[in-house]
Each structure stands twice: as structure tokens, then as C-alpha cells.
Chain A
């Protein structure tokens, strides 16, 4: 474990990934301090005005908005839109900060649960083989035959809007890769003599899977998982962009890009006038995904079984 950490920190690319990740983690942890929520639901992006046009960075909260907050007896702790506002007066800076929490939630929860499902099904399938393997793998095939984005879209549409629904959809169509991966490694590892030796000592099947097989096979799955955190966030963003993801006004980067949809090219004679509407959420998504991919890449190099011989 120490060796892995040491390598992660000594490698340039992974160091960039780690720095980016730490940056996002700090943002996520200190979100309430950086931008104190103005309403009861902190994930609801506050509106700075009723303006349909995005407002440039540095613009202030409109007076009628302040009145409303005063009427609701909410304290307005800040009134400057540092990164401007999106369509409908939604504050971009607030969305970015609280959207980091959303991104972590989506990425880590979906990957963790789908990894768990994949590992359980894959290891059972590989270890017991025969008809169990046949049935589980055919089910996996069926799920794999749906195009991921389309399937996730259809499922969220059926389930309704909301972050939890997005996650359910992503998990439902995201576990197959892990199942296949772990099945493959266990199929080869279970032929090792030490598995036979453990069996000959009377060790139970569950113990053999958990203590003997998984520690030897889990690394490729973990690498896959760390790289998938990024792609899960992208898919969730895509769903939000298409309008089937997070509810309107929810602090979610994908949704913020979606707000910018009509303003990307700017106005006649002023190309890129509303650059801030798409740039900030876009760059956050890119950097977030990049950080996970860089870490995942290095993890793969470190944990590659062929290189692990130098242990």
C-alpha cells in the first residue's frame, strides 16, 4: 500500500491528477463556507435576478431579488455573481461549488454500487461455473446489448427526474463491465494451486472467494472503477444536458451546461459574449474527469499484474 502511494506521488501525471482531486475535495468539503446557501435546500442554485439573459461575471444581485430574500427572512450573505449568472439568473459560481458535491456523489456512489454488484455476480459466476455461470453471464449479455446512454436515458425518463433516479439508471447499466472483468480474472486465478490447497484444508467457498480469490483479482476492477468515476459524471451531465437528469435549478454541472445551450454562440456581432455560461461548468467537468483518469491510468500501471512481480 505504501508502495502504491509512493508511486502515485512520484509520478508527474498522477501528481497532477491528485492535485486536481484534492482541489475538488476541498471545494466539496468547504462548500458551505465558500458559498453559504441562501435557501433551505443547499443544492438549489440561488437566482440573482429574473433576467433571461446571462449576466457577466461581477454583476450584483438585483434589488427585487434582495427584496424577496428579505421577505423570506433569509440573510443575503453575498451578492456578487463572481462567475456571472446563467440563463434565468442562476448564479454560476454557486452552482460550480455545490455541483462538486453532486459530482462526487454521482461518481463515487454509482461506481461503488455497480462495482459491488459486478464483483458479487462475477465472482459467483466464475467460481461456481456451470449453469450458474451460464445464466448470470447471459443476463450480463442482455444488459450489455443496450447502448449505455440510451438505456440510461430511457430509464431516467421512466423513473422521473432527480439525482437518485439518475444514479439508479447509471448503476443498472453500469455493472456489467466489472462483472466481466472479475469473472475473467477469477476464472484464471481459481486454477491456481493455492485455491486447491485451501479447498483441501476444508476452507469454505465464501472464504475462498473473499480471502483467496478477490485480493488477487480486485486490482483491475479498482482501476476500471477509478477511471469510470469520471465517465459516470460525464454521463450524468449528458443526461442533465438532455433534460432528463437533475431537477431544474439543482446544482449540477451538466444542468449548468444545459442552461448555456442557447447562449453558446453569443449574440450577433458579439461572438462568445456569454462565454462564461458554458466555460466554467465545462472546465469543471473536464478537470474533474481528467483528475480521475490520470489517477486511474497511473493506478493501472502500478497494479498491472505483469509489473507486480517486482513486489
Chain B
């Protein structure tokens, strides 16, 4: 079924490292995934696991000391990492756009909302300032901002959090990008607004069959909108499969940990399950499998050898030596029904 869909973005063995004074931080160290047209890919993981850096690497937004040192980012058949800076500027905003986590900091406080939306339009299309302004009003209307004619001349601090995120979406969507990267777009918003914002993004994308890369640590959001999911840990994809599989039978201990740490109402629990330990310091990653110090299935092999991302079944890639043990645990049935 997947083969019928058009491949939009393919990431192969992407490696982005930060060359700091203390040493090399391997923020993204060999990430692979694909995004098909009209589909939503969710990237899940704890803070600092390399989700955002992956997104920035796709658009080549990282400055020194961050550098993408290997891999390929193939968008519409062309490797973005080989493009010149000018060619990249053409793609940013027009073909691939991005929505950021904090709508307050992602909008420039000294420029009006209208200016910031029309900026992208003026950059990518040969239109006059008046036309750009008109289009900005239309866009604000489209993202559901009341009285757009007035809002267009207002500054970000005059807007509420939800409205700012709507304005961000209007900015990102201004040039009808085919791929939208959303970096935790709902984290800073309160729950009632979250659903509205997600809804809005999905509706707009459906209009022209665009794709979405959703970066989040919120499994609820993923359950809501993603088609396929890449779980990241310590700069690597540890499990990659479709939504149904992830929620029904995850095969990586980390994914299992994430899923069992969701608070639930249907099962009696004294305490919330947590994954013990913290994300390892990227300067001193543990040997072997990077998850082994926190993994309850860890064996001696995990300490020495790093597993690779292997295909367990059709469309289900896992990076673990102990898949069978995890499977046994999963079969006890502790997981949420989706």
C-alpha cells in the first residue's frame, strides 16, 4: 500500500554533530526515515534526544558549532545537503516550512504580524506590498483569527498565546509548502487550544495534500494525528513503524517505557511508571546500546555491542537485541487501546 504513495522526503543516515570546546556532541547520529506525500510522520522522544536538531538539519538551519557531517536529505529526489545556500533559501518557506514551539519567541516582538507574514510572500513571489498585505489578511482569516483586518497591524504581544500560534501557522502556510515541520507546536499552549491548533494544521495540510513532520514528546498528540512514528533516543531512531503497531505491540524497551508511563484511568496504579535514569550526556554516551543503563531488559551483550535498526516484520524497524523479551512483556497487556 505504501508503495503507491509518493515519496516526498527521505532521510538516510543523517548525522549532525556539534563541535563544542568540550568535545563532539553527536546530537543526531544516523537517523533514517521517510515521509510520503499527504502523510504525517511523528517523531517522539525525550528532551535532548535530537528531535529538533533533526528538523533543523533538514532545512539546514544550524550554524557553527552545529554541522551536518553525513547522510542524505532527499526531498523530491534531490539531496538538500548538496544545494547552495541560495537554492536552500528558495526551498525554505516555499517548499518546506516550519512551526516552532514557543509562539511568543518565534514572532519578532518589534514587527507587526502582517509584516512577518508578508515577508515570506514577498521573498518567494513577485507581488507588491499591497497584495502581500491583502494575502496576509486572508491567511489570518483562514487560520481563524477574528477581525484579521485589525490584527494584521498588531504586534505579537497584543495577541494571546493561541492566536500567536495561529499567526505562526499563517506564516508557515503563507507560501503553501508541501512539507510542514512542526516542532512541538502545541507544547506551550493549554489543552483546549492544543486540539484546535492540531485540527487547524491538519485541515490546512489536507487542502493541498501536504505532509507533516510532527515533533513532540506528547504521545497523545501522536495518537491523534500521526500515520507513522519514529521513536528517537540519544540521536538515533530506535523504533520506526506505523501508529497502530507502536501502540499495540512496541518492540523497543524505550517505546514500551514511554507508553507505560502515560497516566491511565482504566487500570489501578499506585504510582506512575517511569523510565529510570536520565538521558545520557551526549559527550559521554554509554558503550554498546545507548539505552542499556536505563533498560530493564539489558544483558551483557547490550553493554558491548550496539544493535542496528533491523526489520522485525514488514514496516516495523527496531534497534534492540531483546525484541523477544519485550514482546513477552507486551503480551501481558498493559498498553492503551487506540
Contacts and interface: CB of A to CB of B under 8 A. Distances in A.
Contact of A201 (B63, B64, B101, B171): B171
Interface string A12-28: 00000000000000000
Nearest to B63: A129
28 contacts: A129-B64, A192-B105, A193-B100, A194-B109, A196-B56, A196-B106, A197-B98, A197-B107, A198-B108, A199-B92, A200-B59, A201-B92, A201-B120, A201-B123, A202-B91, A202-B92, A202-B120, A202-B124, A203-B120, A204-B123, A207-B123, A211-B111, A211-B115, A211-B119, A212-B108, A212-B111, A215-B110, A216-B108
Interface string B87-108: 0011111100110111001111
B108 A196 contact: no
Interface in A195-234: 196-204, 207, 211-212, 215-216
Nearest to A212: B108
Interface string A278-298: 000000000000000000000
Secondary structure dominating the interface of A: helix
A201 B100 contact: no
A256 B121 CA distance: 59
A201 B122 CA distance: 11
B61 interface: yes
Interface string B57-70: 00101011000000
Contacts of B90: 202
A192 B105 CA distance: 7
Contacts of B116: 198
Interface string B171-185: 110100000000000
Contact of B64 (A130, A198, A200, A207): A130
A212 B56 CA distance: 20
A130 B59 CA distance: 21
Contacts of A196: 56, 61, 100, 106
Given A193-B102, A196-B61, 8 more contacts: A193-B101, A194-B108, A201-B93, A202-B91, A202-B93, A203-B119, A211-B111, A211-B115
A211 B108 CA distance: 10
A68 interface: no
B157 interface: yes
Nearest to B62: A196
A216 B110 CA distance: 7
A193 B168 CA distance: 12
A197 B90 CA distance: 15
Contacts of A198: 108, 116, 119
Contacts of B171: 197, 201
Interface in B317-337: none
Contacts of B102: 193
B105 A200 contact: no
Interface residues of B, number: 34
B92 to A, nearest CB: 4
A311 interface: yes
Interface in A153-180: none
Max count, chain B CB within 10 A of own CB: residue among A196, A202, A215, A216 = A202
Interface residues of A, number: 20
Contacts of A311: 157
A193 B111 contact: no
Max count, chain B CB within 10 A of own CB: residue among A129, A196, A311 = A196
Interface of B: 56, 59, 61, 63-64, 89-94, 97-98, 100-102, 105-111, 115-116, 119-120, 123-124, 157, 168, 171-172, 174
B119 A200 contact: no
Max count, chain B CB within 10 A of own CB: residue among A193, A198, A201, A204 = A201
Contacts of A216: 108-110
Given A129-B63, A193-B100, A204 B106 contact: no
Nearest to A189: B108
Nearest to B85: A205
A215 B92 contact: no
A198 B115 CA distance: 12
B189 to A, nearest CB: 15
B105 A194 contact: yes
B296 to A, nearest CB: 37
B182 to A, nearest CB: 12
Max count, chain B CB within 10 A of own CB: residue among A196, A197, A212 = A197
A301 to B, nearest CB: 19
Contacts of A130: 64
Given A193-B105, A197-B107, A211-B111, A202 B123 contact: yes
Given A129-B63, A193-B100, A211-B119, A200 B92 contact: yes
Contact of B97 (A192, A193, A201): A201
A160 B287 CA distance: 71
Contacts of B63: 129
A202 B91 CA distance: 7
A38 B36 CA distance: 85
B66 to A, nearest CB: 12
Max count, chain B CB within 10 A of own CB: residue among A199, A204, A207 = A199
A148 B115 CA distance: 42
Interface string A113-156: 00000000000000001100000000000000000000000000
Nearest to A204: B89
B68 to A, nearest CB: 15
A196 B105 CA distance: 10
Q: Top 5 nearest A-B pairs by Cβ distance?
A: A202-B93, A201-B93, A202-B92, A200-B98, A201-B120
Contacts of B89: 202, 204
Nearest to B103: A193
Max count, chain A CB within 10 A of own CB: residue among B56, B101, B110 = B110
Contacts of B157: 311
A200 B93 contact: yes
